[in-house]
Amino acid sequence: MNNDIIRVDSYDFDERTESGIVLVEFYAEWCVHSRGLEPILEEIADEYYDSIRVLALDVEQSPDVAARFHIDTTPTVIIFKNGKIAERIGGANPPSTYADSIENLLINED
């Protein structure tokens, strides 16, 4: 993962997602689809570096967080807005899927 994507775990997850718009990839190291999503999320992180944060959480390293959000497949992307789930996207998708969700949240920002 590049430097624009911040790795988080059980200890800092809540703090990092409590404010602003935060995209979190729930991934597993062994998951081919998670690895395939990485360049897409790097692109999103680069494009929206001044508007959102992009985080990545390894579900095997932080199973408590994965269980709290009912993560049963990887990758799963959840976009939080001020600590609350705004969007949930399962599987690997094209960049436009994530960008459209982010744009919608930025337009409707309180």
pLDDT in tens, the chain (110 residues): 446 899 999 999 999 999 999 999 999 999 999 999 999 999 999 999 999 999 999 999 999 999 999 999 999 999 999 999 999 999 889 999 999 999 999 998 65
CATH number of the domain at 44, please: 3.40.30.10
Specify the DSSP element, H or E, that contains 37: helix 32-47
- Cβ neighbour number for residue 98 with a 10 Å cutoff: 25
Task: Give how many domains the chain has, as a whole number.
Answer: 1
Between CA 79 and CA 82, with CA 105 as vertex, the angle to 5 degrees is 55
pLDDT of residue 104: 93
Looking at residue 11, its pLDDT comes to 96
- Helix (H), strand (E) at residue 45: helix 32-47
Q: What's residue 110's pLDDT? A: 57
Q: Which domain holds residue 38?
A: 5-107
Q: How far is 77 from 36, CA to CA, in rounded Å?
A: 13
pTM over 0.85: yes
Radius of gyration over every alpha carbon of the chain, rounded to an integer in angstroms: 13
